[in-house]
Structure 1
Amino acid sequence: MKIKHHEIEVVTDAPFTNCKLNREPYAKVLTEIVNSYADGFVLAINNEWGTGKTTFVKMWRQQLNNEGFQTIYFNAWENDFNDNPLVALMSELKPLTKGIINGEKVFKSVVEKGAVLTKNVAPAIARSLIKKYIVDAIENTTKAAAEILEEEIKEYSDKKKTITEFRTELEKFVKKKGGNKPLIFIIDELDRCRPNYAVEVLEQLKHFFSVNGIVFVLSIDKKHLASSVRGFYGSEKINTEEYLRRFIDLEYSIPRPSNKLFLKYLFDYYELDKFFYSKERIQYGELQSDATDLLDVAELLFNKTNPTLRQQEKIFGQTRLILNSFKPNQYTFSHLLFVLIYIKTLQIELYQKIENNALTIQELSDSFVSVMPLEIKNDYGRNLLYVVALLLHFYNNNQEHQNRIQLLESGTDGNIATPIKIKLADNDSKKLAGLFKEIKQRSNYTDGSLKYLICRINLTESVIIN
């Protein structure tokens, strides 16, 4: 049984074989782009955290390798322990010496120029302190000040010359290795790095590595990278969009996959069918719709609230574990169970209030609708309204007897009504009342309490691993 989603295997000969999100067409588009503009540029693949960027770029990288491109994959987050990104980036280039005539010698020339640069990229604060100390010591000596200025001018000229020489040697090296195809240098997880490291990587890409023949691919969540930029400069007012535009030539976002497609994948991956369709369970007719009920409500929730793929994985992993606390002949109320696991994962404060009986029935109804807007236009919407009714019914049963309310009342016209007001159209309270009546008529639901599900979600019930 799986409760955690493991890294997807990238098959060498067919990299997208295990991709369940149909993303291979996007890789082909990107390959056409990098092949058409080989002069060197920076491409940003910009998607939120948890949307599968890392898996995508690893599959795309293998596809590029299969088509004769030279590629490098650099996980910036795993390397930000090193204060100087230039060293780490250069280290990634070294393996390319294989297959180049006199490759070590050619690379050595690049390293020699880079070695001079590493001396010139000392922290600006340290340099300014040193200069201030010297200037303070000789502030009254005009001649010495002029000599310092002259030395700084020379240092500046030398640095510009060294950068030019470094780029020239780097371009020669890349040309020898890649031929007519550009080197694809993928940088992943830059948005997770320490702010100073993330900014220094960007600055060094622009100043040192911007040469013909290298296409840099930044796999990022631009909003989080923007936060790193603001953190580095210590200002919330900096125009991060304009700042990042200096480094990024082209931005691409991987389209979001169909929720239905991904849900089916997660259902299969976490083997929920082994529970719902076990030999012991399928003999009970009342339980045979549980799997469908769960998938229906999951699709509705995810379509409405757009959790990341990683969040969806986590919810399904938790669901699989929690299902093992039920015996084959027990009700799971799978749609309500899934909704509560969803709330606990993404709305923990609301879940804690539900757990602690800290809301009135009306407050719970209002909170639910504010988190997951209801649209009673189709079967999915009506299914979710049924889940709301079941939640309110079980929650009401959770209360001390004196605190319970009558969920059904007789209306002035003789029809049933409910005091609970749903924040939708006027007739939705009538629909809710009808659902309360339906639940009340099911004897096995009448005394059901939310504790029955909460204790399982909190893993205070025995879990049988199978």
Structure 2
Amino acid sequence: MGKLSLSKCQPIEIDADNPFKNDVLGREENITVLTQFITSFEQSIVLCIDGGWGQGKTTFIKMWQQYLKNQHIPTIYFNAWESDYTDDALIALIGEISLAIDNLSGEAESKAKGLLSIIKDKIRYLIKDGSSKEWLTIVSAIGSFISKGHIKADKIAEFATNLNAALAKDQIEKYEKSKQVLLEFKQALSRLAECYSSNEEKKPLVIFIDELDRCRPDFAIEVLEKAKHLFNVDNIIFVLATDKTQLGHSIRAVYGQGLDVNGYLRRFIDFDYLLPLSNQPYIIYLINKFSLEKYFLKTEKHLGDPKFFLQIIVEKYNLSLREQDAFCNIFNIVVRSNATIYLNEWFFFIFIFLIILKIKFPDIYKNLSNRNISYYYNNSFLYDALKNIHSHHTPNDFVANHYLELLEYLLLEVFEKFRIPILDSVEIIENYVEYFKFDKNKKNRLMGIASSFKDNCVSLPLLLDIKKSIEISNSFKFN
């Protein structure tokens, strides 16, 4: 047995001289286009890189950051999730800019430190004001004394009137001061951004904000507000890497489920860029990384190529990069730890499909058991699995649909032959087509698959053994 190789979806190593050296997803074209886009603006913009969980957003922006550095365009990386323990997003953002000064030298460093000192002085007028909370605490305490009879109510009325007047005057003065401070803050911030550019050509400071969708809702909203309102100055570009769907859930948690999230986000985000999916190149990379090719080569290919089926189903089921990595870890564990594994083509089709269900549709996967093995419209696993497979068919995608229908037939063969061993393929297919109201073309395609299927080893006990083998992966810890 070969050495077992397990891993999580680790960030790829980004080479300083060539950030695309280890890029297996073809991101270079996306990044060069986006660089041209953001540097064409003279004013500040906010660009959102929108991608779902596990689609490689962090790797993408870190690769882009290194590319910009090589183009002598200054950058700052801000992980919002690691900073949401703070009470004020503005302090966290300025803190990251302050840390970046260490990368400067000579006159630029001296000038940047001077401007940063000015900015820090202005921040106290722009951060959250806790004075109101302090006064509320005092008033609450006084209220307690009144209720206990220690202070007469008529005496406190005069105090409350004076207190309200003092608070109102204080807030007005702070508002008037903050307007002037905000102007001075933005001017200093714009000049500070210029310090990070290493040559005479005017280039923007690009601030990458990552993991915004993972922050607590109020902090995520505050980062958006600060980025748009306080940092909306020349020479600064914001790039947000986030799952907008998840970010929308966070916003609704604060403002209510009826909020128009897209309308709300348009107040802060100028442009959206949907991170392109690159499923097939990555699964091929993982097959090579885990040395899985040899297992596919051992199979006969009367029904089709299991490796090609894997590429198709990864795309059809829209597996994220992390999900693809999880798939290959499970696959790798099973084929390396089970010496008696049944290496033929139909086995791999079902094996691959069950791992996909485990990752993407665990509720369907859990229903596969020997407790309920009746006809498919009474069997929750088979019924749900068949509906699930059929829902991934795409019009005119004949090759992919063929492999999906092959999977449908294999599952029908497993359950129907177990229920009534004497049933032939024609009866199985006719019952299936009639129940789901499929057309004649569907029936003919399934009949064609049945005519090519000569292996009588498909059985429900073997299907359950496959699931049992997959469950071995639950005992492994991925480092």
TM interval, shorter chain, is 0.7 to 0.9
Amino acid at match of 2:22: N
| Alpha-carbon distance, 1:106 to partner | 2.7
In 2, distance between residues paired with 1:239 and 1:123?
Answer: 33
Q: Offset at 1:149?
A: 2.5
Residues 16-45 of structure 1: per-residue CA shift (max 9 Å, x gap): 121111111111111111211132111111
Which of 209, 234, 253 is the aligned partner of 2:231? 209
* 1:408 has 2:451 as partner: no
Structure 1 position 104 matched with structure 2 position 117? no
Amino acid at match of 2:208: I
Give the whole-Å Cα distance in 2 for the aligned partners of 1:68 and 1:351.
51
Are the equivalent residues in 2 in contact too, given 1:38–1:181 (CA < 8 A)? Answer: no
CA change 1:114–1:461 in 2 (3 A) is: closer
Is the 2:302–2:452 contact (alpha carbons within 8 Å) kept by the matching residues of 1?
no
CA shift, 1:96, in A, is 3.5
Distance apart, 1:9 and its partner CA: 0.8
Out of 226, 249, 260, the position equivalent to 2:280 is 260
Unaligned runs of at least 5 residues, structure 1: none
Aligned residue in 2 for 1:156: 175
Is contact 1:3–1:318 with CA below 8 Å preserved after alignment? no
Question: Following the alignment from structure 1 to structure 2, what is the Cα–Cα distance between the partners of residues 342 and 290?
Answer: 23
Aligned: 1:303 with 2:320: no
Partner residue, 2:185? 166
2:39 equivalent to 1:35: yes
| Contact 1:385–1:432 (Cα < 8 Å) also in 2 | yes
> 1:211 is aligned with what amino acid?
V
The within-5 A match list for 1:254-403 is 254-257=275-278, 259-277=279-297, 282=298, 287-289=299-301, 293-327=305-339, 330-331=342-343, 333-358=347-372, 360-363=374-377, 364-373=381-390, 374=393, 378-396=398-416, 403=419
**In the alignment, which of 98, 119, 122 is matched to residue 113 of structure 1?**
122
CA distance in 1, matches of 2:130, 2:166: 22
CA distance in 1, matches of 2:44, 2:53: 27
- The CA RMSD over aligned residues, in Å, is 3.3
- The separation in 1 between residues aligned to 2:397 and 2:188, in whole angstroms, is 65
* TM-fit CA distance, 1:3: 4.3
1:462 to 1:142, Cα distance in 2 relative to 1, 3 A: closer
The equivalent of 1:452 in structure 2 is 465
Change (3 A) 1:443 1:12: same
In the superposition, the TM-score normalised over structure 2's length comes to 0.82
Cα deviation for residue 311 of structure 1 reads 2.0
TM-score normalized by the length of structure 1? 0.84
1:418 and 1:458 map into 2 onto residues whose CA distance is 34
Q: Could you tell me which amino acid in structure 2 is paired with residue 456 of structure 1?
A: S
| Residues 408 and 437 in structure 1, CA contact (< 8 A), matched pair in contact too | no
The SS at the match of 2:367 is helix
Contact 1:417 1:430 in 2 (8 A): no
Tell me, in whole angstroms, the C-alpha distance in 2 between the residues paired with 1:24 and 1:170.
31
The alignment status of 1:86 with 2:90, answered yes or no, reads yes
Aligned residue number for residue 238 of structure 1: 259
Check conservation: 2:9, 2:325, Cα contact below 8 A: yes
Matched, 1:46 2:63: no
How many aligned positions are there?
Answer: 443
Q: Distance in 1 between matches of 2:33 and 2:260?
A: 30
Q: CA deviation at 1:184?
A: 0.4
How far, CA to CA, are the matches of 2:59 and 2:473 in structure 1? 35
Inter-CA distance 22–210: structure 2 relative to 1 (3 Å threshold):
same
Change in CA separation of 1:62 and 1:444 when aligned onto 2, cut-off 3 Å? same
2:48 is paired with a residue whose SS is strand
d(CA) in 2 for partners of 1:42 and 1:461? 42
- What is the aligned-residue identity percentage? 29
